[in-house]
Every structure is written in structure tokens, then in C-alpha cells.
């Protein structure tokens, strides 16, 4: 009987967690759900009042409706609906999260609101996802990094880059990087690993989408104060503004041309979106003999002027 009573109280709580101020539930409705949905067995309606008081005494924010006949409701859920909406939109727009993972996260977020709240979201059109089929290890890597920082261990990984043939390859022939990780920073749809190496002063950063084979190292983490001095939070923030945010910008649509034969299996024209930044013009300057920017006109003109200036240096 004691076990059955414990289950009954938990089920009453689960029923109440689907409510809000506009959709309370009374004792009769709770009994009906217990007997028909949870198959608890014959339930005394008066016992519901005792269960509600028990839950209230345990700190659950259960309030009685102004019309007592309507019953009770959860006065405050973990998040307001507008907060859930903001989080869902952020995940929906995060290109580093796959469409499948986005759907899972969205369902979990909806479990944090009332039944009425879930119904409100179900009547809302969902924007076309910007998510792509990203590496499924993305979430796993974040979990590893969180654990590494918690237990004060370094992380180790390999890093990728794009070679002259526009192929993704491991940098420096698969070199394993060992990093004192101090922060995981989100900027312009990418996560950045902010930390330091033992054999270098100062900070460095790596993009998570270019990381491979990330694991926790057996080496203990060197404290940030020891590596970069007092007030490391301030120092890291200054570094982010100069070395991470400095290179961010709006995404622009780029159209380029290049001749067949210069790149394996290349086509004559390609269109893609890329973050507009100083690194973008630098990349096109580096491969100016291979790629010709057609659009946008502003980027094309910037490259033309830089190329003219470079030629003048050799006149």
C-alpha cells in the first residue's frame, strides 16, 4: 500500500505539471486520469486534497484557482513560454546542430511547459531550419569539454584545415594538440575553444567544427591564473573581442569562377555563403590565381584594389 500511495502522489504531480493558470484541474479530473490513464485503481476523491497539500509542503508551486471548483494549477514552470520560444529559435538557427538533434531538443523544451503551452506551440508555424547535417559528435564533444573543465584536466584533439584542393584534411599530418581549456565560447553559429598550450604564453582558440578525435587528457589542467595572470576572466574577454569577435561579420552570398583543371573535379562556377570578415578577403587574395569573385560587387572591388596595390609594389 505504501508503494501504491507513493506512485499515486507522483502521478498527481505529473498531472499537475501539465496545468497552468488558465487550465487548472480539479480532484474529479485527477481521479479520472489516475484510474483511466495510469490505472492506479479505485481512488478516493478526498485523498487528492491530501496529496496536493503534501506536494505544496514539499515546495511545489501549486496554487488553487479563484473558482475552487476548477481545482489547482502549477503557478510557475521551469521556464515561461516566451523563454522556451527564444531557446527553440536559437537552436533552430544554430548551424552547428543537426536537424535531427534540433528536433530532439525542441521536444525536450516543450516538456518544460504546460499542456496548454505545448498546444500553443503546436499551432505555430516552424521556420525552415538552418540546420545542416553536421558531425553527430558535436554534442558528445561539448559533454567531454564540460567534464574536462569540471575535473581540471586538459583536452587533446586533432585539428582540420582545407587544403589547396578544397579538401578537409588533418592539420600538420594529424598532430595531437593538448590544450588547457578555459572557456567554450559561442559566436556567429560556431563554438570556439579558448585556452592555452603549456609551451606558449597567452591564449589561443580553435573552432569546434574543425576539431576531430577530442578526448580528455590524463594531464592536469594548469589554472588560468597561473598561465595568464590575475583576473583571467577579464583577460579572456579582451582576447575574445580582439581575436574571435573581430573576425566575425554578416553572412554574404558569394559567386566565384575558376577554370577546370586547376582544382580536381572543379566546376566553372560556384555559389555559396560565407561570413564576411577580414579573413575572407585574405583567403581570396591567397588564391587569387585560382578563383575569380563575380559577386558581390563590393567584395570584388575590394579584391581588385588590393591586387592593384600588390602589383604597384613590384613596378
d(CA 143, CA 150): 11
Quote the pTM value: 0.63
d(CA 55, CA 8): 12
d(CA 71, CA 73): 7
d(CA 231, CA 164): 41
Would you tell me how many other CB atoms lie within 10 Å of the CB of residue 149?
19
Cell representation of residue 199: 609551451
d(CA 134, CA 213): 15
Q: Which of 314, 313, 270, 272 has the alpha carbon at shortest distance from 290?
A: 270
Walk along the chain (315 residues) in steps of 10 and give the mean pLDDT of each run.
81 93 94 91 92 94 94 89 90 80 89 89 72 68 95 96 80 94 88 93 90 96 92 90 66 74 58 65 77 85 85 78
| β-pair partners for 289 | none
d(CA 103, CA 88): 10
For residue 130, the model assigns a pLDDT of 57
The enclosing H or E element of 116 equals helix 115-122
Angle (CA) 304 310 315, round 5°: 120
Would you say 154 and 115 are in contact if contact means Cβ atoms under 8 Å apart?
A: no
Q: Residue with C-alpha cell 575535473? A: 151
Beta strands in the chain (DSSP E): 62-64, 72-74, 153-162, 168-170, 177-187, 190-196, 204-207, 211-220, 251-257, 269-275, 292-295
| β-pair partners for 255 | 271, 295
The full set of domain ranges for the chain reads: 2-74, 81-122, 138-247, 251-312
* Interaxial angle between packed helices 99-110 and 81-93, expressed in degrees from 0 to 180 and rounded to the nearest 10: 170
d(CA 49, CA 204): 60
d(CA 44, CA 38): 15
Residues in contact with 158: Cβ distance below 8 Å, sequence separation at least 6, in sequence order: 170, 171, 174, 175, 176, 177, 211, 212, 213
Omega cis (within 30) before 207: no
Would you say 253 and 296 are in contact if contact means Cβ atoms under 8 Å apart?
A: yes
For residue 134, the model assigns a pLDDT of 57
Angle (CA) 140 144 148, round 5°: 170
Would you say 181 and 149 are in contact if contact means Cβ atoms under 8 Å apart?
A: yes
Question: Which CATH number does the domain 2-74 belong to among 2.20.70, 1.20.58, 1.10.260, 1.10.10?
Answer: 1.10.10
Amino acid at each position: 500500500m505504501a508503494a501504491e500511495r507513493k506512485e499515486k502522489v507522483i502521478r498527481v504531480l505529473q498531472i499537475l505539471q501539465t496545468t497552468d493558470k488558465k487550465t487548472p484541474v480539479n480532484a474529479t479530473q485527477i481521479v479520472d486520469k489516475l484510474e483511466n490513464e495510469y490505472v492506479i485503481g479505485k481512488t478516493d476523491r478526498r485523498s487528492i486534497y491530501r496529496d496536493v497539500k503534501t506536494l505544496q509542503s514539499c515546495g511545489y508551486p501549486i496554487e488553487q484557482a479563484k473558482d475552487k471548483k476548477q481545482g489547482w494549477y502549477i503557478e510557475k514552470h521551469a521556464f515561461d513560454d516566451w523563454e522556451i520560444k527564444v531557446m527553440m529559435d536559437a537552436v533552430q538557427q544554430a548551424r552547428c546542430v543537426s536537424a535531427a538533434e534540433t528536433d530532439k531538443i525542441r521536444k525536450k523544451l516543450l516538456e518544460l511547459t504546460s499542456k496548454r503551452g505545448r498546444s500553443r506551440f503546436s499551432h505555430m508555424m516552424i521556420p525552415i531550419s538552418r540546420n545542416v547535417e553536421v558531425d553527430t559528435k558535436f554534442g558528445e564533444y561539448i559533454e567531454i569539454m564540460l567534464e574536462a573543465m569540471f575535473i581540471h584536466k586538459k583536452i587533446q584533439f586533432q585539428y582540420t584545415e582545407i587544403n589547396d584542393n578544397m579538401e578537409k584534411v588533418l592539420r600538420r599530418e594529424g598532430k595531437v594538440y593538448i590544450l588547457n581549456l578555459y572557456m567554450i565560447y559561442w559566436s556567429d553559429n560556431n563554438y570556439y575553444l579558448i585556452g592555452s598550450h603549456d609551451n606558449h604564453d597567452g591564449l589561443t582558440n580553435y573552432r569546434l567544427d574543425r576539431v576531430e578525435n577530442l578526448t580528455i587528457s590524463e594531464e592536469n589542467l594548469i589554472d588560468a591564473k597561473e598561465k595568464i595572470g590575475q583576473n583571467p576572466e577579464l583577460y579572456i574577454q579582451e582576447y575574445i573581442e580582439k581575436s574571435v569577435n573581430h573576425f566575425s561579420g554578416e553572412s554574404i552570398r558569394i559567386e566565384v569562377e575558376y577554370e577546370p583543371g586547376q582544382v580536381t573535379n572543379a566546376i566553372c562556377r560556384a555559389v555559396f555563403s560565407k561570413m564576411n570578415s577580414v579573413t575572407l578577403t585574405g583567403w581570396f587574395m591567397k588564391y587569387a590565381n585560382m578563383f575569380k569573385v563575380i559577386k558581390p560587387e563590393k567584395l570584388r572591388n575590394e579584391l581588385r584594389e588590393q591586387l592593384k596595390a600588390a602589383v604597384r609594389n613590384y613596378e
